[in-house]
Amino acid sequence: MGNLFCESLKIKYPILQGGMAWVSEANLAASVSNAGGFGTIAAANAPATWLEEQINKTKKLTSKPFGVNVMMMSPYTEEIFDLLVKNSVDVVTTGAGNPAKYIQRLKEVGTKVIPVISSVALAKRMEKNGAFAVVAEGCESGGHIGELTTMVLVPQVVDSVQIPVIAAGGIGDRRGVRAAFELGASGVQVGTRFVCSTECIVHQKYKEMIISAKDRDAVVTGRFTGVPVRAIKNKLSIRLEKMEKEKVSLEEFEKFTVGSLRLAVQNGDVENGAFMAGQIAGLIKEIKTCDEIIKELFE
């Protein structure tokens, strides 16, 4: 299962840890890499200086390979890519946009680029532009999502490109991993399950929100903005839903969304925070170490 993919990334298990803004930092990335998966640090909306600190910290915590996820809507994208070219990390994954114009520069310093995509068209474009692999992410995921489910997206992407396809969205246990391989994936990317790891630095309330979530509690808001986001239902999501119905302006809507993920991650603000999580939240019942989570997924 996923052997060639593991060999090329020098990992034991074909699993990438999702690049979750403010969640995926040095401790989580290093713990996943130390457990035989592939850890990633999310550059999120942070400046390059923050990312550099996190890269250096991760290198102290693990001797295994790890990567960086670049959120393409960040205002710091240019300086982040400059830093990544200078630091030549093993892998760069990207989300929330098209990284085409940065791929060659990264390849030249030996960095493999793995864009997260939510359509066949973008997967093909990324292959043509030199991507090493793609993560095909279904709308079961948390955070910013596309339209298609993992079940329909993954096999269509697999049939459209030659490069490895990593499945993401809705994978939280061994059954999900097996299903992903059955759909033709070479590996999986897992996010929400790792939020509920011992090593994950999010506020305890964030973990509790996921653990107490039921099957329909990870809801989507903000479709009208063009950037739909999935998060655990709470006072904020209910308010946003109401604002959408009332057809408020984008400006008004963003007063409540800007900074809301940090309120969840750092303050555990259960009322005003955006507790981004995937639909698999309903399946997650226990906090475990990254090592236990990976063994549970693969052994």
Two structure tokens written together for 235: 């006072």
We find the least distance from the C-beta atom of residue 110 to ligand TUI, in angstroms, to be 24
Measured CA distances, 29 to 26, 59, 75, 170 (Å): 5, 10, 23, 20
Q: Which two tokens stand for residue 228?
A: 């739909």
Between the alpha carbon of residue 242 and those of residues 133, 227, 236, the distances in Å are: 39, 17, 10
In the complex, the smallest distance separating the C-beta of residue 80 from ligand TUI, rounded to whole angstroms, is: 14
CB of 147 vs ligand TUI, minimal distance in Å = 9
Cβ proximity of 21 and 42 under 8 Å:
yes
C-alpha to C-alpha distance for 163 and 128, rounded to whole angstroms: 10
d(C-alpha 24, C-alpha 43), whole Å: 9
Taking alpha carbons only, the member of 200, 114, 220, 99 closest to residue 161 is 114
CA distances to 37, 116, 241, 297 from 177, rounded to whole Å, are 13, 18, 33, 7
Count other C-beta atoms under 10 Å from residue 299's C-beta: 7
Question: Smallest distance from the beta carbon of 120 to ligand TUI, in angstroms?
Answer: 12
Closer residue to ligand TUI, CB minimum distance, 1 or 100: 100
Q: In this complex, which beta carbon is closest to ligand TUI, that of residue 25 or of residue 298?
A: 25
- Intra-chain end-to-end CA distance of the chain, in Å: 12
* Sign of the dihedral defined by the CA atoms of residues 250, 251, 254, 255, in that order: negative
Q: Least distance to ligand TUI from the beta carbon of 33, Å?
A: 21
Hey, what are 78's tokens? 């240019």
- The residue among 64 and 114 lying less far from ligand TUI, judged by its C-beta, is 114
CB closer to ligand TUI out of 36 and 150 = 150
Cβ nearer to ligand TUI, comparing 87 with 225: 225
Closer residue to ligand TUI (CB): 25 or 64? 25
Residue nearest to ligand TUI (CB): 143
The CB-of-109 to ligand TUI minimum distance in angstroms stands at 23
Listed in sequence order, the residues at least 6 apart from 283 whose beta carbon sits closer than 8 Å to its beta carbon are: 172, 173
Q: Which residue, 122 or 264, is less far from ligand TUI as judged by CB?
A: 122
Catalog residues that contact ligand TUI under the rule CB under 6 A. Answer: 21, 71, 73, 95-98, 116-118, 122, 137, 143-146, 227, 229, 261, 276
CB of 291 to ligand TUI, least distance (A): 25
